[in-house]
Structure 1
């Protein structure tokens, strides 16, 4: 909408309220019950990190950042228009009210930003003034005798909107920094030109359709093209996609990254499902079995080193494991209460036809359409040459998995295809029925609850084959593997005499797109040669170049490398692409953005002197 201005409220909280305490507090205002229920229904897990809630069709956005204020502010580059400083008085909370805090507030303030606070102590006034704010006192609200308010009058332009030099400036383009933190309207092309769209997405797998929906929700006209005859027809096209997160046993950067993606997706899928009758999200729970001594020891370390809400992840014993799955287990495991599996076909149908209220935007699919070449025009727009003609766009998103490297601009990305085959069995007529698990089971592979009598399990991992045809040998491997890590499944009797010949069998194979660090590649596409030249000094000093920003193609984005974890990572990845195109506050902090960044391998390989 022309002139539209969204409202984005960011709250930093070291000790977040529990959901029960929040409900109790809000019950004091029954006249706000309708609004309060929306907040409570979407309230996130109380785990450290970044949580985004959307209301009023995305017009009102609440970002909750749970954690220490200094660690948290250091991870962001937004420009705030207004600050409310509510950290108790300096006498009760002295560690918060420091010159470092006031400096961070100024760094993250837009021109003319205002503030208010109930803390009227002299130390607060002097700290704000030293950071560049004009400050005045006035009568306080309620029982507060005085309060402070004011606005920023001077800023250190060398630091405003930037992070300290120790942070990952290379993940940001110098010329786009301001645009990336302010709300903006995507530039539109001349609609009279044939096949012109605000955004064109190449690839209609899980990453592509999620990105299309995220951009469409922001009012952009999107074209999505794919060489196959239908969406999610490649590696994303299994009958059941498990939403599974594999954590390190100790908290580190990777742990925090996986935790954030899991928390995001566990709220994203139910929120979307609530709007549709066709069921695509099946939150049956997921049990990660401690099926071996090695896995049991790892899970014990995980439980001892990490304290998570019990409704997020918790260890359970063998008896409870058996109760959750409906099968007999001799071991316990980690219970992911709200996880489950995704039906990608139904999910794709919903995303590509979902229309927000009063939206004039469209998603237009083009199947059996091969993108042969991409080129940037003098006005920074992009032209895509296909077997169905030319497409024109301001924003081009490459989400076509292993084919991404066919474009010269992206040939440097270190992705590899990883073949995987899933096996499905069902009981033959007049034979003993196979007992279905009630939840997703994972161990050396995975097993899903049955659908129409079919039990899907797997999967193989083969780096040496690019053949998407199925074969009997891999079905045997899957069958042998599941009897090893989940021996009680097929029957409560001895399964050694069981073979695939006893069942109806079918299978599905695909080529997952993987990366060396097993994390997705998401964000603006870097200019490889310019990055190498600018950051050449990294070859002789890994800590050099901290003040430098990256070189990126304007309007070219990548969303690939999700491997077998697309159901886990594609929702937040899609939101990150939408943020980089449309602006606003990103769905991830600065560390996670760098872990997603397509430029991270260039930086790493320069430090290792590999390029």
Structure 2
């Protein structure tokens, strides 16, 4: 199975109706599609009355299609938002995402949705498997779009819906999506009393919903449909054990303290501020991004693996999330990156990547020498970008943060939640994490001739942007007190630059380079730590049976309201926004912007469970 999804082939009827050639079914009926959405889905789920008095409300949908149902719901939310700070979360699943041109043409049928359609189409996702999260803070709306086969993506998702739009092509023309396994998953992803609307009255659908715990009723249909279905979940599914601490905090935290103003803390701050939280950021440094995030230039490019593993998908999801977050912020320059294989193993990996690419041609091409051309990558200027990410947060810089995790206070001030974004300083608070320090040194020249952006990479990287040249970086173990530039690292970077041989290499000889060294916190498996902080002694006691091969079938004990983002290693600007979205969902509630396997892979609890398994072996 290929890693890229397939755009459906669309035939257009004379009246503007889009028809999916592969399923021989319509997305909607031109002239009546919006009215059908309102009657079957909005009214069928009792909206807007169902969200009256609610701070948050979650609607889920099977089959995103053109996005028409989402826009109809958004329009209704604008007219009937229950409070200025209320949030509407929309979760949808799509295996055959429309090409952006087809989406724009389809939504052009509805002039009254033109403004909202423009906002959606501007962020229309590429056909890349994974989870895309979009947030419109002023509207109080988030869209979490799971791209892939719903038989895989729905069981892997993390949310509880208050209402369901059971959409998609008819059961007779798309049997896979309406298979018997769908209905228990709908129930397990529903809040008690969740409402459901659908256009179909097929017997298999009625029976599947009833067997899953829904009370199903026939209702008068819309247009040429004589009947439709409405359903209410009357027998909720008991929640499963949560050994990785993936369940959002209850009640949702509103006042959040973040310790650390580097990219890890800034990514969390951006996601939380956008989601309506009151965020205070503490850092002992007098300015943001003075540690590992503080180089003159940084590079955002994808790390692509040949195999379709959890880690490979994580890295693609994180890269796309970062790119979407940075796109409209200062300190960002789009660039192509030429990535040259550094050895035969690299060349073999690149060949496998190109044989089954995880990104579309708009983002990835082959180079003649066997390398990769990454299009739409970004050169970042952290001194401009990180403050922009922190905008809207209350910054408390230049002072130490004295923590009482049990009381959830910082310098005596209480908060609903505290997020530790403290890199290697976290080792003194939570030594069981086993964080490893890596020393990264880069070299910089800032007065060369002004040039267009240019990047070449092969293990190390070399960046040119305007008058700046930056190259490096080392990544070596470090067990000292303070990072200092070294002649050895400087020579290593010079040797690496010579191998890359950028056209501007003479600039590095005509100007005196400035070296900068900083520490990067890493984990043994090189994946970040994002999530609730476990009560490690209590967790070891609860899961002691794991040492003897028993399953981890209990809820993980955690420090209430204490979270972390750490271990970003050399890819802080890749991981930061994605990690921030996960933390926002855990702290404030709402759908997780990642699959369960990804959340488990970055959960701090994984280290506890892994240690128990190894001690038993």
Instruction: Give the match for residue 344 of structure 2.
Output: 293
Q: Is the 8 A contact 2:462 2:502 kept in 1?
A: no
Q: Aligned with 2:352: secondary structure?
A: helix
Instruction: Give the match for residue 245 of structure 2.
Output: 172
Structure 1 residues 384 and 226: CA distance shift in structure 2, 3 A: same
Structure 1 residues 438 and 346: CA distance shift in structure 2, 3 A: closer
Give distance in 2, aligned partners of 1:70 and 1:444.
38
Unaligned runs of 5+ in 2: 1-54, 56-81
Unaligned runs of 5+ in 1: 188-197, 274-278, 319-330, 356-362, 428-432, 492-497
Instruction: Give the match for residue 494 of structure 1.
Output: none
Q: Aligned with 1:457: secondary structure?
A: strand
Instruction: Give the match for residue 67 of structure 1.
Output: 148
Q: State TM-score, norm by structure 1.
A: 0.82
Give distance in 2, aligned partners of 1:41 and 1:384.
40
Q: Aligned with 2:383: secondary structure?
A: helix
Instruction: Give the match for residue 263 of structure 1.
Output: 320
Find out whether 1:480 has 2:495 as its counterpart: yes
Deviation at residue 45 of structure 1 after TM alignment: 1.8
Deviation at residue 439 of structure 1 after TM alignment: 2.9
Give distance in 2, aligned partners of 1:474 and 1:186.
44
Q: Is the 8 A contact 2:284 2:398 kept in 1?
A: yes
Deviation at residue 216 of structure 1 after TM alignment: 2.6
Structure 1 residues 501 and 121: CA distance shift in structure 2, 3 A: closer
Instruction: Give the match for residue 600 of structure 2.
Output: 594
Structure 1 residues 103 and 315: CA distance shift in structure 2, 3 A: same
Give distance in 2, aligned partners of 1:415 and 1:463.
11
Instruction: Give the match for residue 177 of structure 2.
Output: 96
Deviation at residue 291 of structure 1 after TM alignment: 4.7
Deviations 1:565-607 (A, max 9, x none): 0110000111211221111112212111111111111111111
Instruction: Give the match for residue 221 of structure 1.
Output: 278
Give distance in 2, aligned partners of 1:546 and 1:470.
45
Instruction: Give the match for residue 450 of structure 1.
Output: 465
Q: How does 1:85-234 map to 2 (within 5 A)?
A: 85-157=166-238, 161-162=239-240, 169-172=242-245, 177=247, 180=249, 185-186=252-253, 198-234=255-291
Instruction: Give the match for residue 422 of structure 2.
Output: 400
Instruction: Give the match for residue 418 of structure 1.
Output: 438
Q: Aligned with 1:339: secondary structure?
A: strand
Q: State TM-score, norm by structure 2.
A: 0.82
Structure 1 residues 219 and 136: CA distance shift in structure 2, 3 A: closer
Deviation at residue 58 of structure 1 after TM alignment: 5.0
Deviations 1:538-573 (A, max 9, x none): 1121xx224222111001111111111011000011
Deviation at residue 102 of structure 1 after TM alignment: 0.9
Larger mean CA deviation between 584-593 and 524-533 belongs to 584-593
Structure 1 residues 60 and 219: CA distance shift in structure 2, 3 A: closer
| Alignment equivalent of 1:366, drawn from 371, 388, 396 | 396
Structure 1 residues 602 and 437: CA distance shift in structure 2, 3 A: farther
Find out whether 1:391 has 2:391 as its counterpart: no
Find out whether 1:530 has 2:550 as its counterpart: no
Q: Is the 8 A contact 1:80 1:110 kept in 2?
A: yes
| Pairs aligned (count) | 535
Find out whether 1:605 has 2:611 as its counterpart: yes
Deviation at residue 525 of structure 1 after TM alignment: 0.2
Q: Aligned with 2:243: secondary structure?
A: helix
Find out whether 1:284 has 2:284 as its counterpart: no
Give distance in 2, aligned partners of 1:13 and 1:392.
42
Deviation at residue 316 of structure 1 after TM alignment: 2.4
Q: Is the 8 A contact 2:187 2:233 kept in 1?
A: yes
Q: Is the 8 A contact 1:88 1:119 kept in 2?
A: no
Instruction: Give the match for residue 360 of structure 1.
Output: none
Q: Is the 8 A contact 1:139 1:146 kept in 2?
A: yes
| Alignment equivalent of 2:476, drawn from 439, 442, 462 | 462
Structure 1 residues 464 and 172: CA distance shift in structure 2, 3 A: closer
Q: Is the 8 A contact 2:131 2:145 kept in 1?
A: yes
Instruction: Give the match for residue 72 of structure 2.
Output: none
Q: Is the 8 A contact 1:214 1:575 kept in 2?
A: yes
Instruction: Give the match for residue 74 of structure 2.
Output: none
Give distance in 2, aligned partners of 1:284 and 1:405.
36
Q: Is the 8 A contact 1:434 1:490 kept in 2?
A: no
Structure 1 residues 119 and 226: CA distance shift in structure 2, 3 A: same
Q: How does 1:40-55 map to 2 (within 5 A)?
A: 40-55=121-136
Instruction: Give the match for residue 548 of structure 1.
Output: 554
Q: Aligned with 1:448: secondary structure?
A: strand
Give distance in 2, aligned partners of 1:35 and 1:219.
21
